[in-house]
Every structure is written in structure tokens, then in C-alpha cells.
Amino acid sequence: MEAIMKELAKQAKARPVLLQKAKEEGKKVIEYTGNFIPEEYIRAAGAEPFLMCRGGDPEAPDAVLEYMLRFMNPLARSMAGYWLMGMDVVTPITDLIVMQQTDNHVGRISELLEFKGLPVFKVGVPPDWDKQLAVDYYKDQLKKFVAKMEEVTGNKIDEDEVRKNFAKTNAINERLRKISELRKKNNPPIGFSEFIKLNHYSFAVDNDVMIGKLDELYDELKDAPGKFMEDCPRILLVGHAVAIGDYVVPKILEDAGAAIVADFLDEGIRTYNDDVALEGNLIDNFVDAKYVNKVPIDIFQPAWEQRFEYIKKLIEENRIDGVVWYQLAFDEIYDMECSCVAKWLKEMDMPMLKLESSYEYSRESMGPLTTRLESFVEALKGGKKNA
């Protein structure tokens, strides 16, 4: 596994350089955010997509404070922060930043990018998703997005090309599902630290290469021995996002002897359970798969009762011993949902740890953070032993 991960890491790291070359060759570079922008259309338009979802450094969120309220979540702030710090090599060459408008954090950060003169295109995603009006609105927004792609690239988008791209992302999803299933084993051969990185690499590495590497990895892992201690606590990680680069918390948990065997995140991860049907109208299919039929993201309304049903399903299917609620600092809607989830989990006697991250992983912060995570894992181990 190590060799494959290393190879993928190398390729993902090279992506910005490839984008610069592509740009020099006359290709357009399109950045986008979140899971509600179909990158398949960007590719089909002949442009190079790049997901904006970097995080895990405290400096980037702080860099926006000259312009922005400090009580915004650090992931949204990082979207502008790295660029303001001069630590983002893609945004300066981007031809367009397509930003899904799901909440106010990303909404105002989009405006900061506009304020600074960057080219931003917004795709509205109505949170009241159970209304036909909202569904139609989102479809219209995607149609405008497609038109914008054609305008920026000067290329007419070929529907068959989009279909091919969806087929490839479906193929990636399928392989990620298979690998994820391996995490259900008593002692999984792969941890979350690797699994989330696979997701992140899949946004940056060529799709065909990624499919091949995922196949290789699955073949290697399917009969491999577990990588954790026998009978280690099994954890479900729930939250907004584990951003590209924000790997500290999963690593501490796994180093402490727990296995994160299931995840429920709204961003920074592929929606690998939700394939897009390839027959018929692809925008309709995308909206059905990612908006209408998918478990709603936290900001959608109504959402929390349905989301908790899904959490219960994950707990049952993955034989979970404890839940880690991984929250981004000042992410107010997740904070509210957390109060509900905490109550419901308590009623189930399921241990939960709420963890808030401002991407502050300084030496001073790491001690208390590690102690909290280790204590939680130790308590879970104790619980398993007693059981």
C-alpha cells in the first residue's frame, strides 16, 4: 500500500505544475469548490479542473482577517487565505473559480475573492432541497454553469464527453466503495488516514491513472492482514470536512490505537456512494444523485433527523464503538446539529467526542488535543474490555 500511496501522493503534488503547463499550452484552468459542481463538465469543456479544499494550516484562515469576520470556519477562510499569503500557485493562473453557494461562510469568502478582483462564478444550491422549486433552481444553476464553461473555454461541450467523464468518476466511486468495504473487517487493512488521502488524490490525479491505482490497491488489500491492534475501538468520524492537508486528528486517533472505520463528511471527500446514472439527461441525473436522493448535507433543511438515521445505519453496519464529531471552528450549523446528535447518541449509550478545529496545530495545542483523543480512545478500549 505504501508504494501506491507514495506514487499517488507524488502525482497529486505535481498537479499544480501540470496545470501551469496546461495553461501555457492554452488550456483553461477552472477551480471549483465542494461536491455540487460537476467537474465532469469542466473536463468535457477541455479545461483543467482543480478542487479548492486545502486546509489544516492556521496561517491561511488568519490571512483573511483584514477583510473578514473572524467567526467564519477555517476551511472557507483558507480558500482565500492561501492565495492572500502567496501560498497558492493555482489561483493566480485560474481562469475562473466556480463556487457552490451552500452557506454563508463560502458565500462571503466568494465575495472576498471578487473584492480582490478574482474571477468568480457562483452556483446556487438551495438548502430547502425537498421542494421541487429548489430542485429546478439548482438544475437551472447547473445549466448556467455549463454555459459559462462553454463561454470561458470557447468550446461547445459534447454530452458524450461528459458521459465518459461521469463513467470514469463512477468507476472511481465504485473502487472507493470496494476499498471502504474492507474497513468493515474486524481488523481493517486500511485506515482513514489513507482512505481520505485516496479521496484527495482522486481529485488531482488523472482519472484513468487513479482507476488503475485503486484497482491495484484493492487487489493488494483484499486479503491483507489488518493494520490495527486486534479488537481496537472502531470509530465513526462525522463532520463537515477533512480538508486536503488536515490530517492531524485522524492520525492521532489511529496512533492512539483506534480505527476510523466509517466516515460521514459533507465536503473534501468524494460522494462515492452516489453514482450518476449515465442514461438520459446528465444534469437531471447529477441532481438526482447528489442533491435529491443523497443523504442531505448539514445545512440542508430538513436534514438532521434523516442524517441521524444514516449515522445509526453506519454505527450498526460498521460495529462502531464511538463517534468523533469533527467540527470546524465557528461552523455554527454543524455546532447546532452536534447538540442534537449528542442527545440522540446519549440515548443510544453511544460515546461521542466533539472536537473543534481551527487548524491550530501548534506545539502548545497538540498536547491537550492528543490527550483528549487518547483519553477518548482509552475509554473506548475500557468499554470494550468490560463488555
The residues binding other proteins (CB under 8 A) are: 66-72, 101-105, 107-108, 111-112, 114-115, 120-128, 131, 133-134, 137, 140-141, 299, 301-305, 329-333, 335-337, 339-340, 343, 356
- Please identify, using beta-carbon distances, which residue of 121 and 201 lies nearer to other proteins: 121
Q: Tell the smallest beta-carbon distance from residue 204 to other proteins (Å).
A: 27
What distance, in Å, lies between the first and last C-alpha atoms of the chain?
Answer: 34
Rounded Cα distance between 298 and 334, Å, is: 7
- Please identify, using beta-carbon distances, which residue of 144 and 168 lies nearer to other proteins: 144
Nearest to 205 by CA among 18, 51, 46, 11: 11
56 neighbors 247 (Cβ within 8 angstroms)? yes
Q: Tell the smallest beta-carbon distance from residue 184 to other proteins (Å).
A: 29
- Please identify, using beta-carbon distances, which residue of 21 and 71 lies nearer to other proteins: 71
Rounded Cα distance between 68 and 315, Å, is: 38
Position of cell 421542494? Answer: 131
Q: Tell the smallest beta-carbon distance from residue 122 to other proteins (Å).
A: 4
Q: Tell the smallest beta-carbon distance from residue 382 to other proteins (Å).
A: 27
Query: Residues, the chain, total?
Result: 387
- Please identify, using beta-carbon distances, which residue of 38 and 189 lies nearer to other proteins: 38
Rounded Cα distance between 349 and 85, Å, is: 45
- Please identify, using beta-carbon distances, which residue of 98 and 249 lies nearer to other proteins: 98
Measured from the Cβ of residue 2, the count of other Cβ atoms closer than 10 Å reads 7
Q: Tell the smallest beta-carbon distance from residue 238 to other proteins (Å).
A: 16
Q: Tell the smallest beta-carbon distance from residue 307 to other proteins (Å).
A: 11
- Please identify, using beta-carbon distances, which residue of 198 and 297 lies nearer to other proteins: 297
- Side chain identity at residue 41, one-letter code: Y
Rounded Cα distance between 92 and 309, Å, is: 43
- Please identify, using beta-carbon distances, which residue of 6 and 346 lies nearer to other proteins: 346
Q: Tell the smallest beta-carbon distance from residue 179 to other proteins (Å).
A: 34
Buried b (16+ CB within 10 A) or exposed e, 38-68: bbbbbbbbbbbbbbbbbbbbbebbbbbeeeb
